[in-house]
Amino acid sequence: MALLELTKVVKRFGGLTAVNDVNLAIEEGSLCGLIGPNGAGKTTVFNLLTGVYAPTEGDIRFNGTSIAGWKPYRISRAGIGRTFQNIRLFGELSVIDNVRTALSVNDDPGILHAFLRTPKWEQREQSTVKEAERLLELLDLSDVAKEQSNSLPYGRQRRLEIARALATRPKLLLLDEPAAGMNPQESADLMHLIRRLRDEFGVTILLIEHDMNVVMQVCEQITVLVYGQPIASGTPADIQANPKVIEAYLGTTSEDAS
Amino acid sequence: MTKPINYVIALAILGVLATLSVILPIYMDDLVYRVLMLSGIAVIMAVSLNLINGFTGQFSIGHAGFQAVGAYVGAALTVYGHNDIFGHLPKDGQIGTGWMSLAVGAGPMLASMLAGGLAAALIGYIVGLPSLRLRGDYLAIVTLGFGEIIRVIVENNDSVGGPRGFSGNLDIGVSVPAITNFFWVFGVAIVVILFARNLRFSISGLQYLAVREDEVAAQAVGIDTTRTKVNAFVIGSFFAGVGGSLFAHYEQTILISSFNFVRSFDFVTIVVLGGLGSVTGSIISALVLTALPEILRSSLGAQFNQYRLVSYALLLIVMMLVRPQGIFGRGELSFAKLRNKFKKPATQ
């Protein structure tokens, strides 16, 4: 059984069908990519998976249970973490507090404990600091732990979003254009990191990316979405050779000629 | 509060508060004492509003409405519960000062604060749940309307005096007792401040701040944003209700017109001026904005009153131009920070 399964998922906004009849299965431990031209519905798929939207039709099963129509926080607690295309950090909180916030959801002893500063509270408080420091180190952000998060440069803000998403202890991590705005060196580091997350931490990863370099090098499975519909699915080599994909991205020669 | 030393400190604070509560009314000028008490209540109101507007980033402009609920419920309890429960209080409500008055007033005060607080919290839950499910300014509109509803209910309810105000019940001959004293006002203020401060610097509090910063992202990391907002609102309302009960038993006569929109806006001004999200900012701003009009009134005469709102508006405008984040912004004034500030030049 696949970790994530989309069956005939449709999402309509009024008369516009943003996602049409999508079937998708993601195996546990895989590293998948979702690509397609602008406006193909990739982010909408992410928003369906994370509960920002409920699907109009069809079913989404995660780990065997249907999560279609669940609230975002429930889906997050069930084990799907995400980053955002337009960075959404808790801007005025420090870098480490961004990560601690995500950790706190599981470890929150409750406000009564916080008010009375009980031993339980103190122990949780310290454990989240340790855990957060570990995650920041993994994402190479330890040196800016105390800084306000919206003062970081763009590339590091993206890394912090990943750290925060990891802090929710996801089984499946959705990355929405993780390499956007990164220079070649940064995106090379990122690719290395994404592979590490999968290999060392066993996190299943699904990413949206426009940087084909990144997608082709890092993903093992790629699905191509065009006008809300998947037109191809396969290994990077298959996708690159697929005439339908080439047509979607570049147009057909015959049409241009006529 | 788990280490033995903390219990000792807590007991010492209680002792100091009780002693001051006995001494101050005797030696302090009446007007100064009055300003002190009103400032203390303002601190309770401001810090509790900060939990909603500052920490969680919502915008409630009906805090005085919740204070009214606490005031009327609390006062109704001590008046109508007199014969059955609080018979040991004198019917005219004057328990005087001194150590005995502390003991005599403690039970009814606690019961009244709890009743007022719980009533306000319950209404906060009913008002908050539907409006906080939505994002945006709905809470402001709903709390504004709520204040009016409370006014109409009270004005048409003769058992709490209607538009004439509530100071007791002539039929049973019981007045609202004067059980509020320095001990309770500042004891509660300390509890509210500690609560806010401990929340601010804990992982539980981070969730409230996260909701303020970005609700979508907060949901994405697993925070139930509706519940968090409702929690903050209910807790804030609870303390507003407690503040209301303290106010009622201090003034002994409460008029619904003193809990109107303008009063709510005073609290918003205090919180914004101190810095949304800053506990110390709210405290200092509450003290200053309560004491300042009184000082100006006594120095400039009664005509100052008509300029009070003008001066508040001016103050806010200047604030927005010069320091839009409030006096303290989101930061806190702490002894540790001050220490560091003085230490640094020495070490460098």
Instruction: Look at residues B118, B31, B70, B22 and name the one whose alpha carbon lies nearest to residue B246.
Output: B70
Structure tokens at B47: 């810090």
Q: Considering the domain boundaries, does residue B314 fall inside one? A: no
B78 within domain boundaries: yes
Taking the CA atoms of residue B294, residue B298, residue B302 and residue B308 in that order, the dihedral angle to the nearest 10 degrees is -30
CB contact under 8 A, A111 and B220: no
Interface test with B, best of A94, A99, A111 (most B CBs within 10 A): A111
Residue B297, both tokens: 């009134």
Judged by a CB distance cut-off of 8 A, whether residue B124 touches chain A is no
Q: Spell out the domain ranges in chain A.
A: 1-79+171-182+206-258, 90-167
Classify domain A1-79+171-182+206-258 by CATH architecture: 3-Layer(aba) Sandwich (3.40)
Summarised one tens digit per residue, pLDDT across range A62-106 is: 999 999 989 999 999 999 999 999 999 999 999 999 999 999 988
Domain that holds residue B190: 2-258
Instruction: Judge whether B34 lies within some domain.
Output: yes
Tally of domains within chain B: 1
Distance CA B34, CA A165 (A): 52
Interface of A with B in 11-70 (CB under 8 A): 50-52
Contact A94, B206 (CB under 8 A): no
Q: Label residue B343 by pLDDT band (50, 70, 90).
A: low
- The answer to whether A49 and A80 are in contact (CB under 8 A) is yes
Residue found by looking up tokens 């709210």 in the block? B282
Residue B308 in domain: no
CA B321-B327-B331 angle, 5° bins: 125
Hey, are the CB atoms on B221 and A101 less than 8 Å from each other? yes
Is residue B296 in some structural domain? Answer: no
Taking 70 as the threshold, does the pLDDT of residue B18 lie above it? yes
Q: What is the distance between the alpha carbons of residues A170 and B289, in angstroms, rounded to a whole number?
A: 49
Question: Would you state the torsion angle of the CA atoms of residues A227, A229, A232, A236, taken in this order, to the nearest 10 degrees?
Answer: 70
pLDDT, tens digit (0-9, with 9 covering 90-100), for B27-82: 888 888 999 999 999 999 999 999 999 999 999 999 999 999 999 999 999 999 88
Q: How far apart are CA A80 and CA A45, in angstroms?
A: 13
Does residue B289 form part of some domain?
no
Q: Would B292 be classed as within a structural domain?
A: no
Q: How confident is the model at residue B348 (pLDDT cuts 50, 70, 90)?
A: very low
Q: Distance between CA B266 and CA A175 in Å, rounded?
A: 46
Which helix (H) or strand (E) segment holds residue A186: the answer is helix A184-201
In a 3-state reduction of DSSP, which class is residue B255? Answer: coil
The predicted complex's ipTM stands at 0.89
* Residue (of B285, B280, B272) closest to B331 by Cα position: B280
Q: Please name the helix (run of DSSP H) or strand (run of DSSP E) that holds residue B120, with its range, or none.
A: helix B99-132
Asked if A106 is an interface residue toward chain B (Cβ–Cβ < 8 A), one would say yes
Angle of helix A184-201 relative to helix A154-167, nearest 10 degrees, comes to: 10
